[in-house]
Amino acid sequence: MRAASLLLSSSITAVTALWQFKAVTPEILAQDGGTYLGLPSQDPWYKAPDGWETKAPGDVLRIRPHAYNMTPIAISNVKDTFQVLFRSTNSLGNETWAVTTVFIPNKSHCDGVSNCTQAIVSYQLPYDTSCLDASPSFGLQWGEPYGEIALALGRGWWVSVPDFEGPLASYGASIVAGHITIDSARAVIKVASSEYGINKTSIGFWGYSNGASATESAVEFAPKYAPDLKIAGAAIGGLTPNLGTSGPLLAATQVAGLLIQGIIGVTSQYPEQRKYIVSRLNPSGPYNATEFFWASLMSGWQSLLYYSYVNVFEYFIGGQDDLIVPELTAMFDREGTLGNFGQPNTTIFMYHAIEDDMTPIGETDAVVQKFCDKGANILYHRNAWGGHNDELGNGRQRSLDFFGYIFDGSTKLEVPLTGCKTVNVTFMQDPNTPFS
Ligand SMILES: *[C@@H]1O[C@H](CO)[C@@H](O)[C@H](O)[C@H]1NC(C)=O
Ligand SMILES: *[C@@H]1O[C@H](CO)[C@@H](O)[C@H](O)[C@H]1NC(C)=O
Ligand SMILES: *[C@@H]1O[C@H](CO)[C@@H](O)[C@H](O)[C@H]1NC(C)=O
Ligand SMILES: *[C@@H]1O[C@H](CO)[C@@H](O)[C@H](O)[C@H]1NC(C)=O
Ligand SMILES: *[C@@H]1O[C@H](CO)[C@@H](O)[C@H](O)[C@H]1NC(C)=O
Ligand SMILES: *[C@@H]1O[C@H](CO)[C@@H](O)[C@H](O)[C@H]1NC(C)=O
Ligand SMILES: *[C@@H]1O[C@H](CO)[C@@H](O)[C@H](O)[C@H]1NC(C)=O
């Protein structure tokens, strides 16, 4: 390892809210006695069936009932899981497909009740990697990082976790992520009806950090891309509205690995730009192309450890200048500037730490302002307590309360009926108070 390795792990936890999932290799999987789903890159189920290109976005292509072995599952309140493979649209507007994993609660107020509206949370879990085999559909078999799936299940809601980076693991590409998030919702609603007899659903979206990018771009695209889809609301925390300004700041920091993952991830949607990147990487010697692309064999967490404090520009023949060329900056601006895709038409709870150390709050203020000027419906909490990682946990109860509002009419959170409300809060979750 380049970096001083595992000793750093506790301090890395302090600066980034990241799933500490370790990419599983075929060798490890072969030695494990349990029955698990195979690696997405090798699993025959995990690819689109013949003729899929002619289907419409959100159409169901495959269903895998009882997807996970329930014996080792470390997620509570779950009765069963299934996966859906569905058609979507990539960043260039061409057809693609993706997978979502759905968790069914062991107790829902709809159980045994006819004509009941089942609430569904689409939970965009940030996985921060260009490694397909570190997608949530695979990794969640062993448990979840933050306990949020279990909490939502405990409320009786279904939880759908889309692999929003898609089949190319396009970390950082917000356009494809937004489309996939929307199409996963359409597909799950169809399967709820066709396989589970649930014809009435209400769906809300939730995402923090990179999961916020997917969630936020989804609510921007939805009115035009999916006018058929009614989104009850969206909770969006720790948003990164501008990849172009935040990305280069990561080089040579503790989280340099995220920059490498982002360059690989976004260019997976742009073949021309990928060719250019490959042509500018050092072919041999220290900091070479091979080592650069090792990132796509690592989970987000593993790449943080491996590339910690590496000056990412060293991998390029011409240094940082190689990345400041119009075709790349245009690509990053197109994918990574939120607020430009469309005007959301759903109720939003936005939360952000004022002292966010990963993504400055000013950019989120500006996006909220832009939407509100055009009549959006947003409750925006600016939290004076903690940084990026803290707000993940500090925003949890308020997000659950928000979903209580959109699904069940709970008024714990004072969401305006129309228009916007910005509140400066000072909120720290008491570690001794259980979430509800
Ligand atoms: C649901 O699961 C949780 C833990 O996983 C358990 O405590 C609870 O009793 C279960 N409820 C029902 C109705 O089975
Ligand atoms: C994808 O879309 C682009 C731009 O619309 C087009 O030039 C390209 O041929 C398409 N590629 C595929 C594989 O369909
Ligand atoms: C189902 O509920 C809706 C209200 O949500 C009501 O309008 C409708 O009549 C109900 N249908 C049946 C078959 O009970
Ligand atoms: C749900 O819709 C399906 C057809 O889509 C229909 O066969 C079924 O009777 C409906 N179930 C209820 C409870 O309305
Ligand atoms: C590229 O870098 C890796 C890691 O330092 C090294 O193992 C490998 O030999 C290098 N390859 C070439 C062609 O120099
Ligand atoms: C959605 O659009 C309709 C029609 O323009 C508007 O009346 C409504 O207020 C919008 N809702 C939200 C939450 O933005
Ligand atoms: C929140 O605090 C900021 C300073 O951090 C201030 O400029 C703003 O007016 C406050 N907003 C509200 C709604 O109180």
Which residue among 335, 350, 369 closes a domain? 335
| Residue 136 buriedness (CB in 10 A; 0-12 / 13-18 / 19+) | buried
CATH number for the domain harbouring residue 183: 3.40.50.1820
Mean pLDDT of 244-271: 89
Q: In whole angstroms, give the CA distance from residue 409 to residue 411.
A: 6
Q: How many domains does the chain have?
A: 2
pLDDT tens track for 342-392 = 999 999 999 999 999 888 999 999 999 999 999 999 999 999 999 999 999
- 230 domain-assigned: yes
**Which residue in this structure is represented by tokens 């799950």?**
188
Q: Which ligand 4 atom is at minimum distance from the Cα of 114?
A: 13
pLDDT tens track for 120-138 = 999 999 999 999 999 999 9
What pLDDT shows up at residue 8?
34
Q: Are residues 409 and 296 in the same domain?
A: no
Q: Are residues 74 and 188 in the same domain?
A: yes
- 369 domain-assigned: yes
Residue of 382, 385, 420, 421 best suited for mutating to test ligand 7, as the one with most atoms within 8 Å of CB:
382
pLDDT tens track for 265-298 = 999 999 999 999 999 999 999 999 999 999 999 9
Which residue among 300, 335, 370 closes a domain? 335
- 433 domain-assigned: no
Q: Are residues 148 and 175 in the same domain?
A: yes
Q: In whole angstroms, give the CA distance from residue 115 to residue 388.
A: 41
**Range(s) of the domain holding residue 310:** 251-335
Q: Are residues 171 and 187 in the same domain?
A: yes
The pLDDT > 70 percentage for the chain reads 95
Mean pLDDT estimate for the chain: 92
Q: Are residues 309 and 176 in the same domain?
A: no
- 40 domain-assigned: yes
- CB 110, CB 116: distance < 8 Å: yes
Q: Whose C-alpha lies nearest to ligand 4, atom 2? A: 199
| Residue 327 buriedness (CB in 10 A; 0-12 / 13-18 / 19+) | exposed
The pLDDT > 90 percentage for the chain reads 84
Q: Are residues 40 and 68 in the same domain?
A: yes
- 93 in the Ramachandran plot: left (φ > 0), alpha (ψ -120 to 50) or beta? left
pLDDT tens track for 398-414 = 999 999 999 999 989 99
Q: Are residues 109 and 135 in the same domain?
A: yes
Please report, in angstroms and rounded to a whole number, the separation of the first and last CA atoms in the chain: 42
Assess whether pLDDT exceeds 50 at residue 11. no
Q: Are residues 217 and 285 in the same domain?
A: no
Assess whether pLDDT exceeds 80 at residue 146. yes
Query: For residue 166, how far is its CA from the centre of ligand 2 (angstroms)?
Result: 17
CATH number for the domain harbouring residue 280: 1.10.260.130
- 395 domain-assigned: yes
Q: Are residues 130 and 195 in the same domain?
A: yes
- 436 domain-assigned: no
Q: Name the pTM for this structure.
A: 0.94
DSSP of 198-252, one letter per residue?
A: ---EEEEEEEETHHHHHHHHHHHHHHHH-TTPPEEEEEEES---BHHHHSGGGTT
pLDDT tens track for 25-47 = 777 777 776 788 999 999 999 99
- 431 domain-assigned: no
Q: Whose C-alpha lies nearest to ligand 5, atom 7? A: 291
Q: Are residues 321 and 400 in the same domain?
A: no
Least confident of 22-31, 41-50, 226-235: 22-31
Is 436 or 160 the better-scoring residue by pLDDT? 160
- 434 domain-assigned: no
Q: Is the shortest distance between the CB of 117 and ligand 4 below 6 Å?
A: no
Q: Which amino acid does the sequence have at 99?
A: V
Q: Is the shortest distance between the CB of 92 and ligand 2 below 6 Å?
A: yes
Tokens of 86: 């569905």
Residue of 94, 95, 97, 176 best suited for mutating to test ligand 2, as the one with most atoms within 8 Å of CB:
94
Which residue among 335, 354, 374 closes a domain? 335
Q: Are residues 184 and 44 in the same domain?
A: yes
What pLDDT shows up at residue 2?
36
Q: Are residues 326 and 404 in the same domain?
A: no
Q: Which amino acid does the sequence have at 372?
A: C
What pLDDT shows up at residue 432?
85
